[in-house]
Chain A
Amino acid sequence: MRSTRHGLFAGYDNEGFFDEAHDADGDARDHYAALVDQLDDFTSDELNRREKLRDEAFRAAGITFTVYGESEGVERTFPMDLIPRLIPADEWDVIEAGLIQRVTVLNRFLDDLYVGERAAIKDGIVPWWLVASSDGFAREASGIQVPHAARCLVAGVDLVRDAQGAYRVLEDNLRNPSGISYVLENRQAMTRVLPKVFANHRVRPVDHYGLSLLHALQAVAPPAAGEDPTVVVLTPGVYNSAYFEHAFLARQMGVELVEGRDLVVDDNVVAMRTTQGMQRVDVIYRRIDDQFLDPVVFRPDSTLGVPGLMAAARAQTVTIANAVGNGVADDKAVYAFVPDLIRYYTGDDPIIDNVETYLLWDADQRAAVLDRLDELVIKPVAEAGGYGVVIGPKATDAELAECRAQIEADPRNYIAQEVIALSRHPTLVDDHLEGRHVDLRPFVLCSDTVEVIPGGLTRVALRKGSLIVNSSQGGGSKDTWVLAPEEG
């Protein structure tokens, strides 16, 4: 512990956690040295002034998300902390390779399940009953081909760093991962609010995402679509919490943002209603869950979807991205098998490990978990957004008892994981910096090629000591700078 800390860093303490910016002795890590130096030149008043600039910019741009469970129409801005998270080039190279390896395998697994021979099942890598009992498994998707087997066209893989600083995969998001709009907006805000700090680093750009996404979507168009396929973004509508992002992506790609009611399926062909009549649609980047996509096949009460859409996908007149049924592969119980799947399909070990995970249908593992429930994290297998997660060490006795009862009633529906002492990052708290826990959601685009957007969304638990970083649960974000390699 150094005693020389001053200015914004006065009193800063790693408190035994892995700190992204400082080593165990409290010295700035090499790739953070320039940033820490520059921050020394800022007074807290100066940073607070820039925070105000940032807030005004975000609010005026309407960069908000809707919080469920509160009174209707509550729109909040997603708070972006001014201190960026830095990832050095060599570290990023490993992350990138690990993500490509993982998502490529997940695509192969899904294609194997839905249109292949289910080799991974036959060879005993993943038990069939586990697949068949997954909420995310969609029998309706069996036999529906996807060009380039790009079932996870957009994947968001949540990474955390443990007490030793090793990156681990916390969960996969293969259905409708959101957050990329914050990555792009955060970057834009940072270059405006802290231009000199930004200019002082060689940061790899992210603003090509819209073009890359459009390219990826066009590349999975059905062959009949021809040279210039029509791509649309399908949204549940303005009241969806991620509507801002849907509109943002449509704008970035220059394509129509449609709702279910704008689309019609006729003779297995999808078209949108325009002022000049019907126009054929070739690729749908849908941001609607499987269950609401097509009332003929899924929930009949859904008014968000398009009747006949699945039949059109089956007839290969339209491509739906991400593909239907991906939820089976980001089921948190199936997640536990991903390292085995990587070994099975590639023969290599996983580049990035999972977090130690216990499967609760297994009587022995369950008994061991129930013995020390107060030391573990319990997660429902099919939820996203941090909903339903119980953190043992922080839970009350009543919460633990309820959790125990739920596990015993339906062990398939839960997993347990060791508590990860998530790495922390200097974060502006009032007039000084304190360590706050962070994770990282990089975005991977799979189509005719696989591309990882440098960085991703760093989420930060703004509440002191909190481990939950989700935007719906009081989390914020940071701009994430992947540094370009040193020249020469």
Chain B
Amino acid sequence: MLARHAESLFWAGRYIERAESTARMLDVTYHSHLEAMTINESSSWHDLLKILNVDLAFSEAERSLRADEVSEFLVFDPDNPGTIRSSVSSARDNLRAVRELISTELWESINRFHLRLSARNLRDDVAGEPHELYAMVRHECQALAGVSSETMPRDEGWNFLTLGWMLERSLMTLRLLSVRYSQLVAAGAAGGFHHWVSTLKSASGSEAFRRRYKASMDPADVVAFLLMSSLFPRSVLFGLQQAEKALTWIEGGATRSRPQRLLGRLRADVEYLDVAELLSGDLTVYLGMIESDIRQVSDAIEVTYFRASDEFAMHVLDPAVVWG
């Protein structure tokens, strides 16, 4: 397929996942304040900004660390390139650029989502009933996942969409774990229970965790669950496995491309972790390494599939080689 189309699908997946994660984490953060007074409000809002990697942009916007200000910043502030609003419209723009490659159902879903979001008064939503807005965003994103899964052929386009979607998911869960864990270490064990519950909820994982680990709220279990559960669809490992599957499909043959080698090594590393060993060392540093590996995979994908042909065209001049 066209390199540009592959790139659009890859980013559409990333943006949809980004919109959903942002909505879910906003919802959880907002409601954790209503339920648990022990949590330091401004620090948890700051955590959220850090997880979403927009803490610097936020301080440049000269807003204060309050629920309404952070929420506005993450939902629709034009100064933030990664708002829910802009993620959805970027996802739509990317899917629009590949309109002829995706199913009509998928296009209609993203278009309707975009139009619904545009028709709302987001400032009032954030001030009034934010949960309704966040639930709508999550619902629409999940509908997009369902619609694409039910209507798209499992071709190259589908696999690039999945690749972006799943890498973004791994990255989000990883950053969630990373920021929450380091905050916990800094604060000592106090307030641990609510902290971990809201972390699990932020990844949509509290119910699945409960079924797997029953009453436990051992940090080691939470870390193991979010990092390396092969069953929970929002764990870091699950995302990496799905991304690897997509990449293997795209590559097809027996040779391994650079992104495939990087991703395969990373996935194996996470899959065969020893959590006890990990917790005895510096988990934050380790999580930071995984994060940088994921970004490296993403960069390699960009160079290999979206950019390489430019250089190819510039350097290879013998048509027999080009068309061979």
Size class of the A contact interface (CB-based, 8 Å): 20 to 34
A-contact 0/1 string along B128-163, CB 8 Å cutoff:
000000000000000000000000000010001000
A247 within 8 A of B: yes
Asked if residues B97 and A238 are in contact (CB atoms below 8 Å), the reply is yes
Asked if residues A275 and B322 are in contact (CB atoms below 8 Å), the reply is no
A261 within 8 A of B: yes
Residue of A nearest to B103 (CB): A251
Q: Which residues of A (247-286) have their CB < 8 Å from a CB of B? A: 247-248, 250-251, 256-259, 261-262, 264, 266-267, 269, 271-275, 277-278, 280
A61 within 8 A of B: yes
Residue of A nearest to B102 (CB): A251
Q: Cα distance A257–B93 when bound, in Å?
A: 15
Identify A59's interface contact among B115, B156, B160, CB under 8 A.
B115
Residue of B nearest to A251 (CB): B100
A385 within 8 A of B: no
Asked if residues A278 and B2 are in contact (CB atoms below 8 Å), the reply is no
Q: Cα distance A251–B106 when bound, in Å?
A: 14
Residue of B nearest to A62 (CB): B111
Residues of B within 8 A of A363 (CB): none
Identify A60's interface contact among B112, B309, B317, CB under 8 A.
B112
B59 within 8 A of A: no
Q: Cα distance A60–B1 when bound, in Å?
A: 27
Residues of A within 8 A of B309 (CB): 273-274, 277-278
Nearest Cβ distance between residue B244 and chain A, in whole angstroms? 17
Asked if residues B2 and A258 are in contact (CB atoms below 8 Å), the reply is yes
Identify B3's interface contact among A62, A266, A273, CB under 8 A.
A273
Q: Cα distance A275–B323 when bound, in Å?
A: 14
Asked if residues A62 and B322 are in contact (CB atoms below 8 Å), the reply is no
Residue of B nearest to A278 (CB): B322
On whether A266 and B317 interact (CB within 8 A), knowing A60-B108, A60-B112, the answer reads yes
Residue of B nearest to A232 (CB): B2
Q: Cα distance A62–B102 when bound, in Å?
A: 13
Q: Cα distance A266–B3 when bound, in Å?
A: 18
Residue picked from A266, A274, A275, most chain B C-beta under 10 Å: A275
Give the A-B pair count, Cβ closer than 8 A: 77
B99 within 8 A of A: yes
Asked if residues A275 and B319 are in contact (CB atoms below 8 Å), the reply is no
B216 within 8 A of A: no
Asked if residues A259 and B4 are in contact (CB atoms below 8 Å), the reply is yes
B76 within 8 A of A: no
Residue of A nearest to B301 (CB): A275
Residue of A nearest to B114 (CB): A62
B232 within 8 A of A: no
Q: Cα distance A264–B97 when bound, in Å?
A: 20
Residue of B nearest to A254 (CB): B100
Q: Which residues of B (68-112) have their CB < 8 Å from a CB of A? A: 93, 96-97, 99-101, 104, 107-108, 111-112
Nearest Cβ distance between residue A332 and chain B, in whole angstroms? 33
Residue picked from A61, A258, A269, A278, most chain B C-beta under 10 Å: A278
Nearest Cβ distance between residue B200 and chain A, in whole angstroms? 36
Asked if residues B2 and A256 are in contact (CB atoms below 8 Å), the reply is yes
On whether A275 and B100 interact (CB within 8 A), knowing A60-B108, A60-B112, A266-B313, the answer reads no
On whether A278 and B99 interact (CB within 8 A), knowing A60-B111, A266-B313, A273-B313, the answer reads no
Q: Cα distance A377–B324 when bound, in Å?
A: 58
Q: Cα distance A271–B313 when bound, in Å?
A: 10
Residue of B nearest to A249 (CB): B100
Residues of A within 8 A of B107 (CB): 61-62
Residues of B within 8 A of A272 (CB): 2
Nearest Cβ distance between residue A230 and chain B, in whole angstroms? 11
B305 within 8 A of A: yes
Nearest Cβ distance between residue B105 and chain A, in whole angstroms? 10
Nearest Cβ distance between residue B181 and chain A, in whole angstroms? 37
Residues of B within 8 A of A258 (CB): 2
On whether A61 and B104 interact (CB within 8 A), knowing A238-B97, A275-B1, the answer reads yes
B6 within 8 A of A: yes
Asked if residues A262 and B323 are in contact (CB atoms below 8 Å), the reply is no
Residues of A within 8 A of B160 (CB): 275
Nearest Cβ distance between residue B314 and chain A, in whole angstroms? 9
Q: Cα distance A273–B307 when bound, in Å?
A: 9
Residue of A nearest to B110 (CB): A62
Residues of A within 8 A of B3 (CB): 262, 273-275
Nearest Cβ distance between residue B35 and chain A, in whole angstroms? 38
Asked if residues A275 and B313 are in contact (CB atoms below 8 Å), the reply is no
Nearest Cβ distance between residue B119 and chain A, in whole angstroms? 11
Residues of B within 8 A of A278 (CB): 309, 312-313, 322-323
Residues of B within 8 A of A262 (CB): 2-4
Q: Cα distance A272–B322 when bound, in Å?
A: 11
Q: Cα distance A207–B212 when bound, in Å?
A: 54
Q: Cα distance A278–B317 when bound, in Å?
A: 12
Asked if residues A275 and B96 are in contact (CB atoms below 8 Å), the reply is no
Asked if residues B93 and A238 are in contact (CB atoms below 8 Å), the reply is yes
Nearest Cβ distance between residue A10 and chain B, in whole angstroms? 36
Asked if residues B322 and A266 are in contact (CB atoms below 8 Å), the reply is yes
Q: Cα distance A208–B96 when bound, in Å?
A: 24
Residues of A within 8 A of B115 (CB): 59
Residues of A within 8 A of B319 (CB): 266-267, 269
Asked if residues A273 and B310 are in contact (CB atoms below 8 Å), the reply is yes
Nearest Cβ distance between residue A70 and chain B, in whole angstroms? 17
Residue picked from B96, B111, B305, B309, most chain A C-beta under 10 Å: B309
A-contact 0/1 string along B1-20, CB 8 Å cutoff:
11111100000000000000
B250 within 8 A of A: yes
Residues of B within 8 A of A244 (CB): 99
Q: Which residues of B (155-213) have their CB < 8 Å from a CB of A? A: 156, 160
Interface residues of B (CB under 8 A from A): 1-6, 93, 96-97, 99-101, 104, 107-108, 111-112, 115, 156, 160, 250, 305-306, 309-310, 312-313, 317, 319, 322-323
- Apart from A275-B3, A275-B160, A275-B306: 9 A-B pairs, beta carbons within 8 A: A60-B111, A61-B107, A62-B99, A62-B107, A259-B4, A266-B313, A267-B319, A271-B313, A273-B309
7 cross-chain CB contacts under 8 A: A59-B115, A264-B313, A267-B317, A273-B309, A275-B156, A275-B250, A278-B312
A-B residue pairs, 5 tightest by C-beta: A251-B100, A273-B309, A247-B99, A250-B100, A247-B100
